[in-house]
């Protein structure tokens, strides 16, 4: 079954930058047209996708590289060392609050401020999209504050986007 995913942007997308902020080349899509910018210009992009090109976040199989990236990020944000299983769970659980519960003790609780947890959740979404790509899928289906979201790592795959114009 083919369906259409939508992405909106405040600017024209020519190249997806792998070094951009938290998501490292990942764009987010929805089956509905949505706007997350206060820009006066909103550009609509679509992507046609087959259901078998989508993996749900809990079915991901992170590579050693993704596990190490997650471990590095948690260490740099919170000075907490995750073992491989904990890093795997972080990528495939989709809930940084679950992660927070694991470390709510007197020694570590002060390290887990809300902003840093939000930042970690953005990195995790990027890891999920990159892991989906490594696992042979185009998109990772997940949930966030907007509902169902499709995270797609699009570095060197800009040709998958179809520009629909201003909305």
Greater pLDDT, 50 or 146: 50
pLDDT for the residue numbered 22:
75
The sign of the dihedral angle between the CA atoms of 11, 14, 16, 21 is negative
| Residue 98 reports pLDDT greater than 80 | no
pLDDT digits (tens, 9 = 90+) for 38-83: 889 999 999 999 999 999 999 999 999 999 999 999 999 888 899 9
Average of pLDDT values for 26-43?
92
Residue of 87, 92, 24 whose CA lies nearest to 60: 92
Find residue 150's DSSP bridge partners: 29, 141
142 contacts 54 by C-beta, under 8 angstroms: no
23 contacts 122 by C-beta, under 8 angstroms: yes
pLDDT for the residue numbered 19:
78
pLDDT for the residue numbered 66:
96
pLDDT digits (tens, 9 = 90+) for 99-136: 555 555 545 544 566 777 888 888 999 999 999 999 99
CA 85 to chain CA mean position, Å: 20
Greater pLDDT, 96 or 16: 16
Residue 147 sits at φ, ψ, to 5 deg, of: 110, -145
């Amino acid at each position: 079954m083919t369906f259409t995913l939508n992405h909106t942007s405040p600017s024209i997308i020519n190249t997806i930058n792998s070094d951009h902020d938290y998501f490292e080349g990942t764009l987010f899509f929805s089956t509905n047209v949505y706007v997350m910018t206060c820009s006066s210009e909103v550009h609509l992009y679509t992507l046609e996708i087959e259901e078998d090109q989508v993996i749900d976040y809990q079915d991901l199989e992170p590579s050693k590289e993704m596990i190490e990236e997650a471990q590095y990020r948690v260490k740099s944000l919170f000075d907490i060392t995750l073992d491989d299983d904990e890093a795997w769970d972080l990528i495939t659980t989709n809930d940084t609050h679950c992660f927070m519960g694991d470390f709510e003790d007197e020694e570590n609780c002060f390290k887990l401020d809300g902003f840093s947890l939000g930042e970690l959740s953005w990195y995790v979404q990027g890891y999920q999209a990159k892991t989906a790509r490594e696992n042979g899928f185009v998109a990772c289906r997940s949930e966030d504050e907007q509902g169902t979201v499709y995270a797609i790592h699009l570095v060197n795959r800009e040709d998958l986007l179809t520009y629909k114009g201003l909305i």
